[in-house]
Amino acid sequence: MHFLPKSLALVSALAGAGIAQAADIKFGVAEALSGGAAQYGVAIRNGLQLAADEINAKGGINGNKIRLVIEDEQGKKEEAINVVKKLIFQDKVLMIFGPTLSNSMFAGGPVANGAKTVIFGTSNTANGITDIGPYVFRNSVMESDVLPVTVATAAKHYNIKKVAVIYGNDDAFTKSGYDVFKTVLAERKLPVTTTETYVKGDVDFKAQLTKIKASAPDAVICSCLAEEAANIMTQARGLGIKAPFIGGNGFNSPKLFEISKLAGEGTFVGSPWSNTNPAPANKAFVAEYLKKYNTEPNQFAAQGYDAVYIAAAALKDIKFTGDLSADREALKNALPKAAINGATGPFKFRPAKTKDGKVGGWDADQKPFIYVVKGGKFTLYDGK
């Protein structure tokens, strides 16, 4: 928090008189609220707001109320940079949640890290995000943690012997997902019949899918965002491809079914969150989200929701000084020790493993749930 000198004097006087002085804790929110990535960003913002409202209704954090300063970074790298700069230098927020896509975090993350301000990703799963630096945190489970479990489960269920692969080759998230899939397939010694690519904005995938059909795979691995994935699955079924799909984190959006309808039946996807998780924290979250927004939450809403509670857990042990730089540093030092039992289950951080040995940020230390699509819905896989 940032106080002007006159305010500091007032706070000091009140403290001396034994009177507590509450104030707002400003959290910046940099999410894609328009454009293609809004399918993720809006749910994240909703989750963040729900948690902030709940905490404030219970008295806030040590008497201080949370105030979200919300900006639309549109899922664009240049906008992410502009928004992060605005939140840090103009709005003077304590920390930032977002941006939504990994591409945007790779752009905006270095700005926040350079300004020694915590930037907390709730949806960034690409490898290398927390290599940016020690002020970069995320509670989104990495594809490298989720995809090996997803592939292993699907391979056993379908007795998969060979796969085809399709991915977007101009996006950090989908490229990173492909790299993980490639490593997993090599480790499992699963042959790849063909590898096809596309670029953002493509809507016709028939050329790639015709090659995939000719290669006769047992399954199609797709490192794609939800809208492209839905179109790919719909067009695949139109071409007579019956092989099931295995998807990454980008599949975890209602958009998948709005477009593909039942084309995605049998698809396997990993997620750090399950809507059917009976844990009290999750049941309460699902009920309150539905009540507030009149729609079911998804993984991204759950991760946004938990992120605020993680930050709140760290802030409970911090005594604000009124010096914004010092308070930002105190939060950065306290966050690694924060742990909660949230909507996504038990959560804690683990230090990032950087390739060059430099000091990195902090990754999520969580186990994923595995879903299979049944009846146009994500269903927790029960081994059957």
Regarding whether 107 and 200 lie in a shared domain, the answer is no
Sheet holding 245-247, edge to edge: 192-198, 163-168, 219-223, 245-247, 268-271, 369-374, 377-380
The total number of residues written for the chain in this structure = 384
Domain extent at residue 29? 5-141+277-366
Regarding whether 293 and 253 lie in a shared domain, the answer is no
Q: Which helix (H) or strand (E) holds 369?
A: strand 369-374
pLDDT at 140: 94
Q: How confident is the model over 31-36, as a mean pLDDT?
A: 96
Determine how β-strand 349-351 pairs with β-strand 362-364. Answer: antiparallel
pLDDT at 17: 32
DSSP state of 61: B
pLDDT at 8: 35
Q: Is 300 helix (H, G, I), strand (E, B) or coil?
A: helix
Q: What is the mean pLDDT of the chain?
A: 91
Regarding whether 153 and 255 lie in a shared domain, the answer is yes
- Residues 177-221 have pLDDT tens digits of 999 999 999 999 999 999 999 998 899 999 999 999 999 999 999
Q: Write the DSSP assignment of 78-116 as a string of letters.
A: HHHHHHHHIIIIIS--SEEE--SSHHHHHHHHHHHHHTT
Domains: count for the chain: 2
Question: Above 50 in pLDDT, residue 289?
Answer: yes
Q: Could you list the beta-strand ranges (E) of 278-358.
A: 340-342, 345-347, 349-351
Check if the beta carbon of residue 119 is closer than 8 Å to that of residue 108: yes
Rounded to whole angstroms, the Cα distance separating 56 from 78 reads 33
Question: Above 70 in pLDDT, residue 241?
Answer: yes
Determine how β-strand 24-31 pairs with β-strand 65-72. Answer: parallel
Sheet holding 349-351, edge to edge: 65-72, 24-31, 95-97, 119-121, 136-138, 362-364, 349-351
In this structure, is residue 53 part of a structural domain?
yes
Regarding whether 172 and 101 lie in a shared domain, the answer is no
CATH of the domain at 119: 3.40.50.2300
Share of residues in the chain with pLDDT > 70 (%): 94
The span from the first CA to the last CA of the chain, in angstroms, equals 52
Rounded to whole angstroms, the Cα distance separating 381 from 55 reads 33
Of 199, 197, 187, whose CA–CA distance to 164 is shortest? 197
Longest dimension (CA), the chain: 80
Token pair 């991915």 in the structure block, residue: 167
pTM of the model: 0.82
In this structure, is residue 373 part of a structural domain?
no
Hey, how many other C-beta atoms are within 10 angstroms of the C-beta on 41?
Answer: 29
Residue 373, token pair as written in the block: 């699509």
Residue 298, token pair as written in the block: 């998804």
Question: Above 70 in pLDDT, residue 364?
Answer: yes
pLDDT at 4: 38
Regarding whether 149 and 113 lie in a shared domain, the answer is no
Type of residue at 297: P
pLDDT at 18: 34
pLDDT at 167: 97
- Residues 35-84 have pLDDT tens digits of 989 999 999 999 999 999 999 999 999 999 999 999 999 999 999 999 99
- Residues 253-274 have pLDDT tens digits of 778 888 999 999 999 999 889 8
Regarding whether 227 and 282 lie in a shared domain, the answer is no
In this structure, is residue 127 part of a structural domain?
yes
Of 151, 146, 113, whose CA–CA distance to 129 is shortest? 113
Check if the beta carbon of residue 194 is closer than 8 Å to that of residue 220: no
Check if the beta carbon of residue 229 is closer than 8 Å to that of residue 247: yes
Q: Which residue has the higher pLDDT, 308 or 20?
A: 308
In this structure, is residue 380 part of a structural domain?
no
Rounded to whole angstroms, the Cα distance separating 52 from 355 reads 36
Regarding whether 131 and 9 lie in a shared domain, the answer is yes
pLDDT at 22: 62
Check if the beta carbon of residue 334 is closer than 8 Å to that of residue 53: no
Last residue in a domain, options 220, 242, 271: 271
Of 338, 217, 221, whose CA–CA distance to 270 is shortest? 221
Q: Which helix (H) or strand (E) holds 137?
A: strand 136-138
- Residues 152-185 have pLDDT tens digits of 999 999 999 999 999 999 988 899 999 999 999 9
In this structure, is residue 372 part of a structural domain?
no
Regarding whether 305 and 236 lie in a shared domain, the answer is no
